[in-house]
Amino acid sequence: MKKQEWVSYWQNVENSFWENKIQSYKGKFGYKKLLMAIPEIKSKSRILEVGAGKAWISRLLRAKGCHSTCLDSDPDVVMLNSKMVDNYVIGDIFNLPFQNNSFDLVISCGLLEHFELNSLKNMVSEMGRVSNTVVAWLPTCDLNWQILWYVRNLLNKQIRFPYAYKHKIENLEKLFTSLGFKEVKTDIIRFAWFFKYIYVHGNKSPEN
């Protein structure tokens, strides 16, 4: 994904009535379902949210008493959303500005689907460097979601990221396993009849 493409897409999201409706629904209802699937979330947990955008996940985490750090690569996105959460930093997902094992958990939501599989390997590897536990959510690639994505592009009057939303759950399992995650759990979490997410949970320290 090129930076120019992402900036253009983000600006479109900010100015789109339909995109704001979708994001509002996800923020109020969907993300709560995603977080319920993670057993490691505890009060005072150190959590990094990469590609945080509006930081919906981190806002919910902080309400649970977690210490959440947000990261995005675009300065404009960080400046806009740092008003809603503090500790929002500019950083590159391929070269995270943190030391090894700095966090108890790294989370990404709605990020990995925008990259091809080769790029995902580098991204997940870097997330696994700063934490032994990595959780990612990706919209499913079934027909309902593909139609929704096409309609969203039409409403926004532009075609963005035609290669997005192509990843299969079995390929993601293989990817996490190849990067040294000893426990890899996957699931499908439903937002609504047309809104489903792939859930991938990798842990390098197996629970006893």
Give the torsion sign (CA, 114, 117, 118, 121).
positive
The rounded distance, in Å, linking the Cα atoms of 195 and 147 is: 11
| Structural contact between residues 171 and 112, judged by C-beta atoms closer than 8 angstroms | no
| Structural contact between residues 108 and 138, judged by C-beta atoms closer than 8 angstroms | no
Cα separation values, 144 from 18, 21, 148, 192, Å: 17, 18, 6, 11
What confidence score (pLDDT) does residue 1 get?
45
Residue 155 parent element (H or E): helix 143-156
Global confidence as pTM: 0.79
Taken in order of first residue, the domains within the chain and their CATH numbers are 3-203 (3.40.50.150)
Q: What is the pLDDT along the chain (208 residues), one digit of tens a residue?
A: 444 455 555 556 555 666 666 666 666 666 777 787 787 788 889 999 999 988 888 988 988 899 999 999 888 788 878 877 889 999 999 999 999 999 999 999 888 888 888 889 999 999 999 999 999 988 776 666 666 666 766 766 655 555 555 788 899 999 999 999 999 999 888 766 566 788 999 999 755 3
Residue 137 parent element (H or E): strand 133-139
Give the torsion sign (CA, 89, 83, 198, 163).
negative
